[in-house]
Amino acid sequence: MTGTGQQPADLHFPALVNGLDFLVSAVGSLSGDDGQPGPRDMKYAVLHLQAAAETLLKARLEMHDPALVWTKVELFDQRKHEAGDFKSCGVKTAIERLRDTVRTRARSIRRTLASGPWAASATGSCTSG
Indicate whether this model's pTM tops 0.75. Answer: no
Residues 6+ apart with CB under 8 A from 98: 57, 60, 61
Q: What ranges do the domains of the chain cover?
A: 15-113
Q: What residues are paired with 51 via a beta bridge?
A: none
DSSP state of 72: S
The amino acid at 91? V
Lowest mean pLDDT among 6-10, 36-40, 73-77: 6-10
* Structural contact between residues 73 and 84, judged by C-beta atoms closer than 8 angstroms: no
Confidence (pLDDT) at 122? 41
Confidence (pLDDT) at 31? 86
Alpha-carbon distance values, 121 to 84, 106, 109, 116 (Å):
46, 21, 18, 11
Q: What is the pLDDT of residues 16-72, one digit of tens each?
A: 999 999 999 999 999 867 778 999 999 999 999 999 999 999 999 999 999 999 999
